[in-house]
């Protein structure tokens, strides 16, 4: 397994380890990803049977680094070298208090350290000492599990998950990222231990959820998140989408599975985490607004607006950023059905202008969501819907080139209006600016200063204002 440690940095660490007569190993995700042939993380973890801090200091000296980050409470140290972050820790064994995921730590052997790891695929170690340089130590069959695409715990999964319940989320995250299957015994343990997730901070949960959402096919993780029972603790709004109801022989689609497909669809076109979240939340208002009207069928009036309001509660619950990220997701959810109106042959350019005005620079993201929202298995229907949205894109481009509506700025601002009519700030200014904006969006005037100024004067006179003499 010497090919795993082919980076020159390992020779430096091996030299330091032998000088200190300290058994040292590269462990964890770096080893796993090397075996899988994945692009390696820039974070590399090292375990030494002895003081990881002492080893880190000698490694830093050999690399010409004067500063290292030392975390005495955890017995760890970090050395930054070029684009790498090297993490050093002494081998340890852990025990847990039931009310906390923070372990009681003692010095231990490599065997102790490997037993405390979350999964077999993360419990492999490669020696860096001269006596057995490059030897792979794999006591729990991690290589076999990689080959068979299985997520499995080194010890009894009930103990592993109960000790640190975040590992349940990590199991789902790795299954989603790697497209692996969680071993049946390990998954059953999640079902039986799920309530322990309550001791985990929402920040840690959302960090794992973010990684699931950024995986190549998020539905793998989201489905496991639901099937494990963990979703009910954090995203009951998504669970509420599940199921089909029938009245008078009329069914509505299962919006849970539809949503998972939409998230997968959009993940093929963007790595934007927040746009993926918008896809996840785009229909959450439907269970609240669902209504059956005889002669019409199932309706979900204003579900986009209701859903956008619900997004705030979810972000707050999960400790996601209550900032421009929240506003962005709310905006995309709120506008998620707007482009459909522009597909109508009878739709005027005014509808396109208003869509551009309201969406601004996010109009392309909005269109990506609309296209991802097509989940019909009927190829002819799907092609027709996509062609309609292609037409919308062309129409938006044409209107934007003609009228420059995106990120609209009024051609006549408040200061100029005050100067024209020699008036102080007041409600009339807002009325005139709104009148100009509406005229431009309706296509009554062009988006230019000359026409806007003439309209401002006209509207001002209507309001009883006189132009400055």
What phi and psi, each to the nearest 5 degrees, are found at residue 102? Answer: -85, 120
- Where helices occur in 231-378 by DSSP H, the ranges are 231-234, 236-239, 255-267, 273-281, 286-289, 303-318, 324-334, 338-342, 349-359, 363-372
Write down the residue that tokens 């923070």 correspond to.
102
Query: At 257, is the pLDDT very low, low, confident or very high (cuts 50, 70, 90)?
Result: very high
Could you state, in order of their start, the residue ranges of all structural domains in the chain? 2-147, 149-234, 414-462
What average pLDDT does the chain have?
Answer: 89
CATH architecture, range 149-234? Orthogonal Bundle (1.10)
Least confident among 237-241, 344-348, 364-368: 344-348
Query: At 469, is the pLDDT very low, low, confident or very high (cuts 50, 70, 90)?
Result: very low
What phi and psi, each to the nearest 5 degrees, are found at residue 90? Answer: -80, 145
Please tell me if the domain spanning 2-147 has the same topology as the one spanning 149-234: no
Report how far residue 335's alpha carbon sits from residue 160's, in angstroms, rounded to the nearest whole number: 44
Q: Is the pLDDT of residue 240 over 50?
A: yes
Write down the residue that tokens 């005229």 correspond to.
439
- Looking at residue 396, what is its pLDDT? 83
Residues 244-270: what's their mean pLDDT?
A: 87
CATH topology assigned to domain 2-147: Beta Polymerase; domain 2 (3.30.460)
- Structure tokens given for 143: 């290589």
CB 331 within 8 A of CB 362: yes
- Looking at residue 376, what is its pLDDT? 86
Query: At 422, is the pLDDT very low, low, confident or very high (cuts 50, 70, 90)?
Result: confident
- Looking at residue 100, what is its pLDDT? 56
- Looking at residue 200, what is its pLDDT? 93
Question: For the segment 159-213, what is each residue's pLDDT rounded down to a tens digit?
Answer: 999 989 999 999 999 999 999 999 999 999 999 999 999 999 999 999 999 999 9
In this structure, is the dihedral angle defined by the CA atoms of residues 351, 357, 358 and 360, taken in order, positive or negative? positive
- Looking at residue 350, what is its pLDDT? 81
């Amino acid at each position: 397994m010497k090919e795993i440690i082919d980076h020159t940095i390992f020779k430096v660490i091996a030299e330091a380890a032998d000088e200190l007569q300290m058994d040292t190993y590269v462990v964890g995700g770096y080893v796993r990803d090397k075996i899988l042939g994945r692009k390696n993380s820039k974070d590399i973890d090292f375990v030494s049977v002895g003081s990881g801090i002492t080893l880190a200091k000698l490694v830093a000296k050999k690399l010409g680094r004067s500063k290292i980050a030392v975390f005495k409470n955890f017995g760890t140290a970090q050395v930054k070298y070029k684009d790498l972050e090297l993490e050093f820790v002494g081998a340890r064994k852990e025990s847990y208090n039931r009310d906390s995921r923070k372990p009681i730590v003692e010095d231990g052997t490599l065997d102790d350290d490997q037993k405390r790891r979350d999964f077999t695929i993360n419990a492999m170690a490669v020696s860096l000492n001269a006596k057995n340089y490059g030897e792979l130590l794999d006591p729990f069959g991690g290589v076999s599990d990689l080959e068979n695409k299985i997520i499995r715990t080194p010890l009894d999964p009930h103990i592993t998950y109960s000790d640190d319940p975040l590992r349940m989320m990590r199991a789902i995250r790795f299954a989603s990222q790697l497209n692996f299957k969680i071993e049946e015994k390990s998954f059953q343990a999640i079902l039986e231990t799920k309530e322990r997730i309550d001791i985990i901070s929402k920040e840690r949960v959302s960090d794992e959820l973010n990684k699931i959402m950024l995986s190549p096919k998020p539905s793998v993780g989201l489905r496991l998140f639901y099937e494990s029972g963990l979703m009910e603790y954090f995203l009951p709004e998504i669970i509420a989408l599940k199921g089909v109801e029938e009245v008078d022989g009329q069914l509505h689609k299962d919006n849970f599975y539809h949503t998972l497909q939409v998230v997968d669809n959009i993940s093929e076109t963007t790595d934007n985490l927040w746009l993926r979240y918008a896809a996840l939340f785009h229909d959450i208002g439907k269970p609240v607004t669902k209504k059956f009207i005889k002669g019409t069928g199932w309706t979900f009036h204003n579900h986009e607006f209701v859903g956008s309001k619900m997004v705030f509660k979810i972000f707050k619950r999960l400790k996601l950023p209550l900032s421009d990220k929240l506003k962005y997701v709310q905006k995309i959810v709120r506008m998620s059905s707007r482009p459909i109106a522009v597909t109508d042959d009878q739709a005027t350019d005014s509808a396109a202008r208003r869509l551009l005005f309201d969406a601004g620079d996010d109009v392309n993201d909005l269109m990506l969501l609309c296209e991802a929202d097509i989940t019909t298995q009927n190829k002819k229907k799907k092609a027709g819907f996509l062609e309609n949205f292609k037409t919308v894109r062309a129409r938006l481009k044409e209107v934007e080139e003609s009228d420059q509506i995106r990120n609209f700025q009024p051609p006549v601002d408040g200061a100029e209006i005050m100067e024209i009519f020699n008036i102080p700030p007041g409600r009339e200014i807002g009325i005139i600016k709104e009148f100009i904006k509406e005229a431009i969006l309706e296509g009554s005037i062009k988006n230019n200063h000359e026409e806007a100024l003439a309209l401002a004067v006209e509207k001002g006179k209507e309001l009883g204002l006189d132009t400055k003499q």
